[in-house]
Structure 1
Amino acid sequence: MKLLKFTILLLSLTLAACTSMVPRESLPFPLTNADSPKQVKVVSIPLPVIASSPNEGITGGALTAFLIHNAKDEINTLVAPQVNYNENFGVTTSLYGAFYPTPSRNWETNLSQSTKINNDYELRITDKSFLDGKLELNAFAFHLTDGSSRFFGFQSDSSKDNETNYANKETGFTLSASYNFWRHVSFFTGERLRVVSIREGAVKGVPFLKDVFNPAEVPGSDGFTAHAQRFGLSYSTLDSMIAPTFGGYARVSVEISSENLGSSANYQHYEAEAKGYIPLDNTRYITAFRLAYNQTLGSSVPFLERSILGGESTLRGYGRNRFIDSSYFLCNLEERIRLFRWEIFDVTADWELAPFIDLGAVIEKLDKANSRNFEFNPGVGFRAIVRPNIVGRVDLGFGKDGPAVFVGLGHPF
């Protein structure tokens, strides 16, 4: 009965943007919890969806964001049903949910199914409530198929003329634990399983990977399994992991994949990352930067397990997985400028402009690095931030293959 009432409530709220006071018993857990007020404020905002990216092409549709508030009038639940159309994937129906029952716990889920090839089912859990907040546990489980994936070959000079398409069907999980043992320094360890099969993609105007490249020359193109263990150290003074306004973060890690534990090949990942946020004028201006290095060592390393650049969080002038090799260098710099703070539908949001520069290169070996390897991607981002938990963004980047547009949630770094 509660489910029926909640379904009727959702349908009625999608008709127009509005703010409603809903009895807590009509909103089952985890939408609300015992600490929610008896009358819960629910803001519903219908929005058009217009997105374009190098791999997927143009997507159009509509969503309704339901923002559920807690007793402090903060958003502790976001639910967003969505329907899109894309000529490659047909109609895609999805339901995204982000839940923040307490400041130390959050859950995120995405359920998405297309009429052609694509699907995405994800669940992510973060819990920092153990050992007085010193122990953080993370779990992520997924099953997805992406029929828009591209492969151009290896190394920084891979040509757009060699562009191929494929669908990667993946199932797996990631588990990790981080313990803050001294001031801002934490030790972390984790386990990762990824089972991948490669099939024909959804973009019929682009050749299939296996019709252009010899599978013997592209390890993993017949499918692969990665079962890896990771450990490392991190340092953080960030005021927020989701929407930081000041502080710094650094991380070094090693990940080992072994055939003895079920992987398709033996190899190691080495990573180092540093990023910082410098505020000015009471956080109206925030200079954000990131430096990162990644190296993959081993023989017959699956192509999707190598060091990869391209996409919404690395080189924003290119589609996902545009450049693949044994190592990469990456530098991101952007200026996050708050244009205004606006209350719309009883929700206070910061609206930002974020001009950026992305600079990165994939290389086969360190001694082969030179200036010709690097890609320079200028661009501009537009952000809407509802603190402390929600960041919506549109990033427009420019690379040698042309412009790229990415629409999504969360900062790129």
Structure 2
Amino acid sequence: MRCTWHWPWLIAGVLLVTGICHASETETSYFFLPIIATSENGGNEYGALPVLVSRDENDEIRTIVAPMYVFNEFLGSRASLNLIGFPTDDSDYRLIASYTETIERKLVARYRNYFFGHPRVTLEVEGGFFKDATARFFGLSNKSRQSDETNYTNQEGLMRMTLGYQLTDHFEIQLTERFRDVDIHRGGIDSLPFIDDTFPLIAGIDGATIVGHRVGALYDSRDDRDTPTHGTLMTAFAELNQNIGKDIGATFQRYHAEYTGLYPSQLSERFTFVTHAQIQAVFGDGVPFFEQSSLGGETTLRGFGVDRFIGKHSALLNVEERIQILKKRIAGTMTELEIAPFIDVGTVFDTFGSDTFDRWQINPGIGFRGIARPNVAARVDIGFGTEGAAVFAGLDFPF
């Protein structure tokens, strides 16, 4: 499914957030944005977004409150509330609540604290419930066909907690426990077949309840967590998962390694070369399709919708050049605009053999970024794949 080209308005709106958030010298700013947006899976949306931004005496953002109303071409009216807070320099929280006319519901919260009762202890907790009525499945493997596209509602309850301990200023060990309960229901896209009609035997079609136990390590030398300009982030983990629901007793393992490097140009601070690579392997029988490795979406292959390619293992490489085109002080706060041409390359596969990497997906594209350090990095990324173009927007960097 090709996206509809409303992205110029979306770019203008997202970049406007960065400037207006700091346009007032008072502690609180109000502004209003029209919404004309699109996504590869979710379709077109039109609506309004009033935003309230509160700042401290140092002009740093502490709270963002953003109620929103949109009309979605597939699901009808949606009302939502987005709440983002930075109570201290070492903690943040996010709450998203929404109610949609057809099927979809969401209540998800996340809290992070990098100084949890001790200078070297970190905590991250996330939990919630949601229904996504525009989820897609094309089959397994990197050779899945666009003509096999199906739709379903992903109903999910989740809870995840990560406790970390910093052995040094840059190196941290982590323990994570996660719970995920998934049910598959008929979706909200009437023009597409239901997944159960096309793939009735796929593992996970009856849902699953997963409990995961993870041990990991993290190395982070970046100069900032949210808006870095240089440094390296490396993560790795091993995870044992148990299906305690529909297929009681089934277990599988997941191994993951990821690298992000930011390299400023020695000739000009306006240029930063960024590389991101990850490899993931999942081993076990009867692994639900939604627990396998996947590519597609705003942090992997940006020329495709979320979870376009699914297989047990995946390999990914992203490279982009972040080019500063404007740096201007607005009401005492420095605001930056960037463009970021990029290339995403990735594949999914089920076995490590001679033909493992014989069919890579290659997605060129360009990103538009608005940055108000240290809190806000608004972005719009446009990727091009073999099935058309995809547009993604957010309030963070993709990696």
TM-score by length of 2: 0.90
Root mean square deviation of aligned Cα: 2.1
Please list every run of 5 or more consecutive structure 1 residues that lacks an aligned counterpart in the other structure.
1-16, 22-38
Using a 3 Å threshold, how does the CA distance of structure 1 residues 195 and 246 change in structure 2: closer, same or farther? same
> Aligned ranges for residues 8-23 of structure 1 at < 5 Å?
none
Shift in Å, 1:371: 4.4
Q: Is the 8 A contact 2:207 2:246 kept in 1?
A: no
Aligned to 2:242: 258
Q: 2:218 aligns with which of 227, 234, 252?
A: 234
Q: Is the 8 A contact 2:275 2:320 kept in 1?
A: yes
One-letter identity of the residue aligned with 1:222: D
Per the alignment, in what secondary structure is the counterpart of residue 304 of structure 1?
A: helix
> Aligned ranges for residues 309-324 of structure 1 at < 5 Å?
309-324=295-310
1:100 and 2:74 are equivalent in the alignment: no
1:245 and 2:226 are equivalent in the alignment: no
Aligned to 2:193: 207
Q: Is the 8 A contact 2:60 2:375 kept in 1?
A: no
> Aligned ranges for residues 79-228 of structure 1 at < 5 Å?
79-130=65-116, 132-214=118-200, 216=201, 218-228=202-212
Residues of 1 paired with 2:145 and 2:316: CA distance? 20
Per the alignment, in what secondary structure is the counterpart of residue 366 of structure 1?
A: coil
Aligned to 2:10: none
Q: Is the 8 A contact 1:228 1:263 kept in 2?
A: no
Please list every run of 5 or more consecutive structure 2 residues that lacks an aligned counterpart in the other structure.
1-19
One-letter identity of the residue aligned with 2:231: G
Per the alignment, in what secondary structure is the counterpart of residue 157 of structure 1?
A: coil
Q: 1:43 aligns with which of 29, 46, 52?
A: 29
Residues of 2 paired with 1:368 and 1:299: CA distance? 22
Aligned to 2:254: 269
One-letter identity of the residue aligned with 2:347: A
One-letter identity of the residue aligned with 1:277: L
Shift in Å, 1:305: 0.2
Using a 3 Å threshold, how does the CA distance of structure 1 residues 387 and 207 change in structure 2: closer, same or farther? same
Aligned to 1:386: 372
1:329 and 2:302 are equivalent in the alignment: no
Relative contact order higher in (CA < 8 Å, ≥ 6 apart) = 2
Shift in Å, 1:40: 5.6
Using a 3 Å threshold, how does the CA distance of structure 1 residues 18 and 212 change in structure 2: closer, same or farther? closer
Residues of 2 paired with 1:303 and 1:259: CA distance? 13
Q: Is the 8 A contact 1:20 1:42 kept in 2?
A: no
Aligned to 1:73: 59
Residues of 1 paired with 2:211 and 2:343: CA distance? 34
Residues of 2 paired with 1:324 and 1:334: CA distance? 24
Q: 2:263 aligns with which of 264, 278, 299?
A: 278
One-letter identity of the residue aligned with 2:142: S
Q: Is the 8 A contact 1:360 1:375 kept in 2?
A: yes
Q: Is the 8 A contact 1:227 1:262 kept in 2?
A: no
Aligned to 1:60: 46
Shift in Å, 1:287: 1.1
One-letter identity of the residue aligned with 2:255: Y
Residues of 2 paired with 1:141 and 1:177: CA distance? 15
Aligned to 2:358: 372
Per the alignment, in what secondary structure is the counterpart of residue 197 of structure 2?
A: helix
Using a 3 Å threshold, how does the CA distance of structure 1 residues 41 and 172 change in structure 2: closer, same or farther? same
Residues of 2 paired with 1:385 and 1:18: CA distance? 11
Residues of 1 paired with 2:118 and 2:268: CA distance? 31
TM-score by length of 1: 0.87
One-letter identity of the residue aligned with 2:234: A
Count of residue pairs the alignment pairs up: 378
Using a 3 Å threshold, how does the CA distance of structure 1 residues 276 and 298 change in structure 2: closer, same or farther? same
Residues of 1 paired with 2:174 and 2:21: CA distance? 43
Using a 3 Å threshold, how does the CA distance of structure 1 residues 19 and 319 change in structure 2: closer, same or farther? closer
Per the alignment, in what secondary structure is the counterpart of residue 27 of structure 2?
A: strand
What is the percent sequence identity of the aligned residues? 35
Per the alignment, in what secondary structure is the counterpart of residue 143 of structure 1?
A: strand
Per the alignment, in what secondary structure is the counterpart of residue 169 of structure 1?
A: strand
Residues of 2 paired with 1:327 and 1:89: CA distance? 33
Residues of 1 paired with 2:268 and 2:32: CA distance? 32
Q: Is the 8 A contact 2:209 2:244 kept in 1?
A: no
Using a 3 Å threshold, how does the CA distance of structure 1 residues 385 and 109 change in structure 2: closer, same or farther? same
One-letter identity of the residue aligned with 2:315: F
One-letter identity of the residue aligned with 2:260: K
Q: Is the 8 A contact 1:363 1:373 kept in 2?
A: no
Q: Is the 8 A contact 2:242 2:251 kept in 1?
A: yes
